[in-house]
Amino acid sequence: MTIPRVLVSVMLIILAMSHQAGAVPPGGDKLEMSFEVIVNPVDDNPLTGCESSAKVDVKGQDWWISFAKVQPLAEKGWEKSNNDIRCGSGSFDRSSLDFKGSGGVHYLIAGLSIVARLHPSALIPEKILRLNITLSLQKFTGFGADGEPVYVKSVEKRTFFFLEGGDAFIPLLIADRKENEALGIYEVFMKIALNRERAEPADVYGIILVTSGREGGELLLDGGETGNISAGDEMLLQNVPVGLREVKLHNSDTDIGKVVRVTANRTVLVDLNLPEPKKKPLLYRLEPLGKNTQGYDEYLREQDRAVVVKIPAGEFLMGNKDTERSPHEHRVYVSDFMMDKTGVTWAQYKRFAEATGVPLPAQEPYWGIHDDHPAVFVTWENAKTYCEWTGARLPTEAEREKAARGTDARKYPWGNEEPDAQRAVFRRNWGKEATAAVATHPAGASPYGLQDMGGNVWEWCSDWYDDDYYNVSPYTDPKGPSSGNAHVVRGGSWDSRPDVLSASCRSWGHRGYREGDFGFRCAMNIPRRISSNQGLKPF
């Protein structure tokens, strides 16, 4: 017996829910589902009804479709009648479909809970769409002693698999003889028609900044010409699709190429130069520059052209109860070490990015990227990676305070005088000028000749932050707690209050935090040749 595709004329309420919570996201795919009641009637009586469909996001969206049908019942039996099916979107409301006053009753209530998930296939590269369907049925059996309708309940679970789409048939009612005669039906099915619409992935792009130091020629991106670049020039390639990309410089003499990874909304720097003669690999090289104005030895670090200052070993007073957060005063001994004279600049950070393929910070300061200004929007991990690339490391909190204030217990790097515009960069407002070029406030130098140790940008330290660490820290070379959720930053910044520029002021930044007033400088252990005073030779 064939089953005609018609809507059933029975006492029927279908309540359908599709719930995608916890579904595996298919990258923007949409499902179009339609629900329809299909009946195999006893005769050819005309039937009226409705059907419904909806587009839903597989990632997770609850939605309801309700089908309702009421069959008037005689007080002592079932009475045939011309019936219809009413549809309505939204949640099912029994009160709106209550026909008790007219002698009717809900004969069948079916609720469908559908969860859609994507599963990988072992046989084909496509993911399979899996529908887990829970069918809850309430079927009228008669009236109780109180005159209220009585229902028998049952629950069934079904699973269907689709590659693109298809139809699923769920039996709702297999009529017995009494139902055949009273309702005029043999079977009732719920048909779920499914169509999966694949969403095209959104185009995601990054930027490549190409520099060519000693050679010019035709610039190619993934084999396609983008234009000509001159020696010593830069070219900005925008709207580059993310992923691995080959950048090549082609001229009559040679081809120079690099493969870089482009990430979304980030700038990758590519330096296309002829390879330099091979050198013996060294962790770093330092060239002596002599003594600075304050009488301390300075060196040039070849890797990033930073000037580093040798800080002598010795005891100093760490902490100051009269500064922000009143850090506990205690005596600390710090071994000799070296520290960068200034914070790491954009020029230095760009050199690092070009050499390593590490992208520039995702966010650019609103005042622009100026080569002689401190690099900002760098995370603690960014700063640590840079310092290690140069053969250095981040300073400890104790090292930074020692380098900032020396041994005479001064409050600020320059002494006890309150901050002013000649000594430091501070009290600048967002939206206006922010950072200043490094080393442009020599009046604010520390006792060892380090610049910008108060103001301009907060600087990351290696230590984890703990408010109470000073109560338990060791006397010699303290390195901070063994774990934590945030790292120490020191020095204050361009938007800080004057008191925050104190050499003892402590603050912190959580892991992954980046901001326009956060930068860093590096520290180094003393190499043997300098420590033993066997001449100040490059190494």
Q: Could you state, in chain order, the average pLDDT of each consecutive group of 10 residues for the chain (539 residues)?
A: 34 37 42 68 56 48 39 47 48 49 61 66 54 73 79 78 68 73 70 66 81 80 86 87 87 78 87 59 77 96 96 96 90 97 97 89 89 96 94 97 97 97 92 91 98 98 95 95 92 94 95 90 85 41
Of 470, 174, 201, nearest to 319 (Cα)?
A: 470
Q: What is the pLDDT of residue 334?
A: 97
Buried b (16+ CB within 10 A) or exposed e, 431-443: eeebbbbbbebee
Buried b (16+ CB within 10 A) or exposed e, 343-356: bbbbebbbbbbbee
The 10 Å Cβ neighbour count of residue 94 is 11
The burial of 281, by beta-carbon neighbours within 10 Å (0-12 exposed, 13-18 middle, 19 or more buried), is given as exposed
Per DSSP bridges, beta strands 127-143 and 149-162 are antiparallel
Name the superfamily (CATH) of residues 205-272: Immunoglobulins (2.60.40.10)
Report the C-alpha gap between 286 and 297 in whole angstroms.
Answer: 12
Which residue carries 């935090």 as its tokens? Answer: 513
For residue 35, list its beta bridge partners: 52, 192
Report the C-alpha gap between 502 and 453 in whole angstroms.
Answer: 9
Residue pLDDT, tens place only, 124-164: 445 567 777 777 777 777 778 887 778 788 887 777 666 66
Phi-psi region of 235 (alpha: psi -120 to 50; beta: other; left: phi over 0): beta
Cα distances from 291 to residues 296, 370, 373, in angstroms, run 5, 29, 25
Q: CATH 2.60.40.10 residue ranges in the chain? A: 205-272
Q: CATH 3.90.1580.10 residue ranges in the chain? A: 288-345+373-529
Q: What is the pLDDT of residue 232?
A: 78
pTM confidence score: 0.54
Name the superfamily (CATH) of residues 288-345+373-529: paralog of FGE (formylglycine-generating enzyme) (3.90.1580.10)
Cα distances from 184 to residues 9, 271, 488, in angstroms, run 8, 81, 80
Residue pLDDT, tens place only, 425-436: 999 987 778 999
Q: What is the pLDDT of residue 198?
A: 59
Q: What is the pLDDT of residue 512?
A: 80
Report the C-alpha gap between 525 and 502 in whole angstroms.
Answer: 25
Phi-psi region of 184 (alpha: psi -120 to 50; beta: other; left: phi over 0): left
Report helix, strand or coil for 191.
strand
| Residues whose CB falls within 8 Å of the CB of residue 376, separated by 6 or more in sequence, listed in order | 361, 365, 435, 457, 515, 516, 517, 518, 519
Torsion sign (Cα): 469, 316, 508, 420: positive
Which helix (H) or strand (E) segment is 506 a member of?
strand 506-510
Of 416, 384, 383, 420, nearest to 503 (Cα)?
A: 416
Q: What is the pLDDT of residue 527?
A: 83
Of 8, 7, 11, nearest to 100 (Cα)?
A: 11
Report the C-alpha gap between 350 and 393 in whole angstroms.
Answer: 18
Of 452, 298, 474, 284, nearest to 397 (Cα)?
A: 474
Q: What is the pLDDT of residue 449?
A: 98
Report the C-alpha gap between 524 and 286 in whole angstroms.
Answer: 11
The 10 Å Cβ neighbour count of residue 473 is 21
CB-side exposure of 466: number of CA atoms within 13 Å? 15
